[in-house]
């Protein structure tokens, strides 16, 4: 029997008979690995464990601890869900059911809304499918057979998906018991692997995300290998519900979304305090680093968006209007306006790098079902910056952005990881430009000694990017900052500088954000702190609580003195018991409460209660103010 070499991810290799399966290789390595294996990667292609190896190959056995293994496990879970739904609701039509972060979903076209009782019944049927432990068997059909089968079954959405594939494409389907689904795979070996699962919710979802199409019902679920991991995740979800920024935003009176403007947030006075502090911090740190601030118009002529490429690549997300008989667009991004500003005069190479920052209000059309408090809105403020530079300055400028981003995140105590995204299918520009841009980002990351994850094909349409994913205090991640290196926009807008040779040259450009969106960053902070903002950021830093009405004058005097020192202070002068006032201040998550009564009036002191420590004793107002000033200045 002819031998082949199988190279493993630790760099070693073993020889096997041609025709050996991936599962057999896993078994030869160890019983534990074979038991944990879900799928494999063979020469970069994801395959099932029964895949046959017929040539020298690079092989990685993937388990639930690998992202691709986890995705395959949860994609299989979605098939278990679909099989259970078809058993209980035979007339349901199947749409799609991918794995997503932390779980999976499946979209169904049914003639009535799924109820909580339905989800319970579906979960029980899913358990039967798991207990029956069906193997997932892959078959490849030709186009006519696949269309004929799914059309006969009334699966109109599957037929549409097949018709959109190339004429000569082989169609893969997966069988598990009586259930057959159109799917590219790969999958876990059997339904019995899905030991711990839970259905979480139902939501509406337009077919293919197009609001002109029919609204389907999307069932969300999650699954894990171990019940303990599922239990921990469900506890995390409960904690996340308590931290929901929409709930806390209402309780603390920070912001609202009105019926008259879905997706268009209103910031209340206390929310504006947080917003202004963030913007002031942003401005201060940018001035330190040589940025100049600008403001560009919200509405600009339609021709500009053709030139920038947004018309071809982003039109469906934009809003349009007509002015003086001409077409105009509301900006979804700030960069085209920034190009016009740079182009207004001729620049020398000595002027570069030029760092230009903008807190720019942008509008993007989001489907109503995708809107989510401040996390997903239709108008938001991007903390944009555009850096125009010489090719020789790329590495240093990217490093400068990385260091600024790291500093800002450290203020809030965020850990983060970095991802590098490369050329997408709909990209503008040549492969050579994209390779240069990607190399520039990679070189900067490696110069900083930063680990990063590679996301092939997930760059912006005009350039590759580095994304920063923040980790909050309960372990969730949020994509905020981004650095995009762009050779395309300077070309499209004919941006030039005069080099030392007296000739005109094309600058290179960085697009970057740190907060990403002021609105979304406030939402993330709200959930990260569960509304208990640190004293330097809290809308109300101190609340003065008189014990009885006769102490109101002293309390008001304390409030005035602290306000003059620049602190944000309220006095609760209501005719209520002090215990009630303390509880209310705790509910409002006020960092410090100053209780004042006869003793405090006589000694010209305050009794300090800290949100984190409770009663910390009496203090002179000067001592308290000095302590609070130190906390605020150091952003503790």
For residue 599, the domain's CATH number is: 3.40.50.800
Judgement on whether residues 284 and 165 belong to the same structural domain of the protein: no
Q: What backbone phi and psi angles, to 5 degrees, belong to 448?
A: -85, -5
Q: What is the CATH number of the domain that holds 35?
A: 3.10.20.30
Judgement on whether residues 408 and 270 belong to the same structural domain of the protein: yes
Q: Which of 181, 384, 467, 572 is catalytic?
A: 384
Tell me if residue 335 is catalytic: yes
CA 435 from chain centre, in angstroms, equals 26
Counting the structural domains of the chain, the total is 4
The stretches of 448-597 forming alpha helices (DSSP H) are 488-492, 518-528, 552-564, 578-587
Judgement on whether residues 30 and 131 belong to the same structural domain of the protein: no
- Does a structural domain hold residue 332? no
Judgement on whether residues 434 and 559 belong to the same structural domain of the protein: no
Q: With H, G, I as helix, E, B as strand and everything else as coil, classify residue 318.
A: coil
Q: Which of 83, 382, 484, 541 is catalytic?
A: 382
CA distances from 125 to 114, 170, 536 (A): 15, 32, 52
Q: At what angle do helices 431-447 and 394-411 cross, to 10 degrees?
A: 50
- Does a structural domain hold residue 458? yes
- Does a structural domain hold residue 260? yes
Q: Which of 243, 270, 476, 511 is catalytic?
A: 511
Q: Is the dihedral of CA 231, 414, 363, 243 positive or negative?
A: positive
Which DSSP letter does residue 507 get? P
Q: How far apart are CA 341 and CA 357, in angstroms?
A: 12
Judgement on whether residues 51 and 98 belong to the same structural domain of the protein: no
Q: What backbone phi and psi angles, to 5 degrees, belong to 577?
A: -65, 145
Please classify residue 59 by burial: count the beta carbons closer than 10 Å to its beta carbon, then call 0-12 exposed, 13-18 middle and 19+ buried: buried
Q: What is the CATH number of the domain that holds 184?
A: 3.30.980.10
Tell me if residue 364 is catalytic: yes
Identify the bridge partners of residue 362 per DSSP, sorted by sequence position.
380
Reference 308, options 511, 73, 562; nearest CA is 511
Judgement on whether residues 507 and 593 belong to the same structural domain of the protein: no
Judgement on whether residues 198 and 278 belong to the same structural domain of the protein: no
Residue with tokens 């994509």: 479
Beta strands in 332-452 (DSSP E): 347-348, 354-363, 379-389, 415-421
Q: Which of 118, 158, 335, 568 is catalytic?
A: 335
pLDDT reported for residue 40 = 93
Domain boundary among the residues 27, 42, 63 is at 63
Identify the bridge partners of residue 255 per DSSP, sorted by sequence position.
267
Tell me if residue 382 is catalytic: yes
- Does a structural domain hold residue 472? yes
Which DSSP letter does residue 492 get? H
Q: How far apart are CA 386 and CA 406, in angstroms?
A: 18
pLDDT reported for residue 460 = 80
CA 620 from chain centre, in angstroms, equals 46
Q: Which of 198, 218, 270, 364 is catalytic?
A: 364
Half-sphere exposure of 36 (CA within 13 A, CB side): 15
Q: How far apart are CA 454 and CA 442, in angstroms?
A: 10
Domain boundary among the residues 501, 528, 555 is at 528
The stretches of 426-483 forming alpha helices (DSSP H) are 431-447
Q: Which of 74, 386, 581, 609 is catalytic?
A: 386
Judgement on whether residues 508 and 569 belong to the same structural domain of the protein: no
Q: Pairing mode, if any, of strands 542-546 and 592-596? A: parallel
Q: How far apart are CA 460 and CA 425, in angstroms?
A: 10
| Segment holding 140, helix H or strand E | strand 137-141
Judgement on whether residues 42 and 98 belong to the same structural domain of the protein: no
Q: pTM of the full predicted structure?
A: 0.83
Domain boundary among the residues 14, 37, 63 is at 63
Judgement on whether residues 54 and 82 belong to the same structural domain of the protein: no
- 361 CB-near residues (< 8 Å, 6+ apart): 298, 379, 380, 381
Judgement on whether residues 227 and 373 belong to the same structural domain of the protein: no
Q: How far apart are CA 521 and CA 444, in angstroms?
A: 25
pLDDT reported for residue 456 = 86
- Does a structural domain hold residue 45? yes
- Does a structural domain hold residue 305? no
Residue with tokens 């997300």: 317
Q: How far apart are CA 573 and CA 548, in angstroms?
A: 9
Domain that residue 145 falls in: 70-231
- Cβ atoms of 293 and 284 closer than 8 Å: no
- Does a structural domain hold residue 537? no
- Cβ atoms of 181 and 173 closer than 8 Å: yes
Q: Which of 74, 86, 423, 465 is catalytic?
A: 465
CA 343 from chain centre, in angstroms, equals 33
Q: What is the CATH number of the domain that holds 426?
A: 3.30.930.10
Among left, alpha and beta (phi > 0; psi -120 to 50; other), residue 384 is beta
Q: How far apart are CA 511 and CA 465, in angstroms?
A: 9
Judgement on whether residues 417 and 510 belong to the same structural domain of the protein: yes
- Show the low-confidence residues of the chain (pLDDT under 70): 1
- Cβ atoms of 453 and 418 closer than 8 Å: yes
- Does a structural domain hold residue 456? yes
């Amino acid at each position: 029997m002819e031998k082949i070499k199988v190279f493993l991810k630790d760099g070693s290799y073993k020889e096997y008979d041609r025709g050996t399966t991936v599962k057999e290789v896993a078994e030869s390595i160890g019983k534990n690995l074979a038991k944990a294996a879900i799928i494999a990667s063979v020469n970069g292609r994801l395959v099932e464990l029964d895949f046959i190896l017929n040539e020298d190959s690079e092989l990685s056995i993937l388990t639930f601890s690998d992202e691709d293994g986890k995705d395959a496990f949860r994609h299989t879970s979605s098939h278990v869900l679909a099989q259970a739904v078809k058993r209980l609701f035979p007339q349901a039509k199947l749409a799609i059911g991918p794995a997503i972060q932390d779980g999976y979903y499946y979209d169904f076209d049914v003639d009535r809304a799924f109820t909580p009782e339905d989800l319970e019944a579906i979960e029980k049927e899913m358990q039967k499918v798991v207990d029956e432990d069906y193997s997932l068997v892959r078959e490849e059909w030709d186009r006519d057979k696949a269309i004929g089968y799914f059309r006969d079954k009334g699966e109109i959405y599957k037929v549409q998906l097949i018709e959109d594939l190339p004429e000569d494409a082989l169609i893969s389907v997966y069988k598990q018991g009586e259930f057959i689904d159109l799917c590219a795979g790969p999958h876990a070996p059997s339904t019995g692997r899905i030991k711990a699962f839970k259905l979480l919710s139902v939501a509406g979802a337009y077919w293919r995300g197009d609001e002109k199409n029919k609204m389907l019902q999307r069932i969300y679920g999650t699954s894990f290998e171990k019940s303990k991991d599922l239990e921990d995740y469900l506890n995390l979800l409960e904690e996340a519900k308590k931290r929901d920024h929409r709930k806390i935003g209402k309780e603390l009176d920070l912001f609202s979304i009105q019926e008259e403007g879905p997706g268009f947030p209103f910031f209340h006075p206390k929310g504006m305090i947080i917003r202004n502090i963030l913007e002031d911090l942003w401005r201060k740190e940018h001035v330190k680093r040589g940025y100049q601030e600008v403001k560009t118009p919200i509405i600009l002529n339609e021709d500009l968006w053709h030139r920038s490429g947004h018309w071809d690549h982003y039109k469906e997300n934009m809003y349009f209007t007509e002015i003086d008989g001409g077409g105009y667009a509301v900006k979804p991004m700030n960069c085209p306006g920034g190009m016009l500003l740079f182009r207004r005069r001729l620049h020398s190479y000595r002027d570069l790098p030029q760092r230009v920052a903008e807190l720019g209000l942008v509008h993007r059309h989001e489907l109503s079902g995708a809107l989510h408090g401040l996390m997903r809105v239709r108008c938001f403020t991007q903390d944009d910056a555009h850096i125009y530079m010489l090719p020789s300055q790329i590495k240093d400028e990217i490093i400068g952005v990385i260091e600024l981003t790291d500093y800002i995140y450290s203020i809030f105590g965020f850990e983060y990881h970095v991802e590098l995204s490369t050329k997408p299918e709909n990209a503008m520009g040549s492969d050579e430009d994209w390779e240069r841009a990607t190399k520039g980002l990679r070189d900067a990351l490696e110069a900083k000694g930063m680990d990063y994850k590679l996301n092939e094909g997930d760059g912006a349409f005009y350039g590759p990017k580095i994304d920063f994913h923040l980790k909050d205090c309960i372990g969730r991640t949020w994509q905020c900052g981004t650095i995009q290196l762009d050779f395309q926009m300077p070309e499209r807008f004919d941006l030039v500088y005069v080099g030392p040779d007296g000739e005109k040259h094309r600058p290179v450009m960085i697009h970057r954000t740190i907060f990403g969106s002021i609105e979304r960053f406030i939402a993330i902070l709200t959930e990260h702190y569960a509304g208990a903002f640190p004293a330097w950021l809290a809308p109300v830093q101190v609340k003065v609580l008189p014990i009885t009405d006769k102490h109101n004058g002293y309390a008001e005097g304390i409030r005035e003195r602290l306000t003059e020192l620049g602190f944000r202070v309220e006095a609760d002068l209501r005719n209520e018991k002090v215990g009630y006032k303390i509880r209310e201040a705790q509910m409002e998550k006020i960092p410090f409460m100053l209780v004042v009564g006869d003793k405090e009036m006589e000694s010209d002191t305050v009794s300090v209660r800290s949100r984190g420590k409770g009663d910390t004793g009496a203090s002179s107002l000067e001592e308290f103010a000095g302590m609070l000033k130190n906390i605020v200045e150091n952003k503790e």
